[in-house]
Amino acid sequence: MADPDGTLPVGTLAYDTGRQRIGVVMEVYGSRYILRPVHGGCEWDVVREACRPATVGDQIAPGLAARNLRSSRGGL
């Protein structure tokens, strides 16, 4: 949930609409957020206008896409 001024607090799951990736807000720096992948990795920055709170759909989409790909190739 965003703060009253619209800023996403540190620790929030956020969706980067430009990169179509989910990350955890690690820092708010001026007009940008610093995000880190949920399971760790390299941080990246994104302008606030291209970032919003992550929905449940955003969170399950990558796993669902991978499962569908395996299924289409005959895997489980």
The number of domains in the chain is: 1
Domain membership flag for residue 6: no
Sign (positive/negative) of CA torsion 16, 21, 63, 25? negative
d(CA 57, CA 49): 20
Domain limits for position 54: 13-72
Domain membership flag for residue 3: no
Domain membership flag for residue 2: no
Domain membership flag for residue 17: yes
Domain membership flag for residue 50: yes
pLDDT of residue 58: 84
- Single pTM value for the model: 0.77
Domain membership flag for residue 19: yes
pLDDT of residue 64: 63
Domain membership flag for residue 4: no
- Model pLDDT for residues 10-60, shown as the tens digit of each residue: 999 999 999 999 999 999 999 999 999 988 999 999 999 999 999 988 877
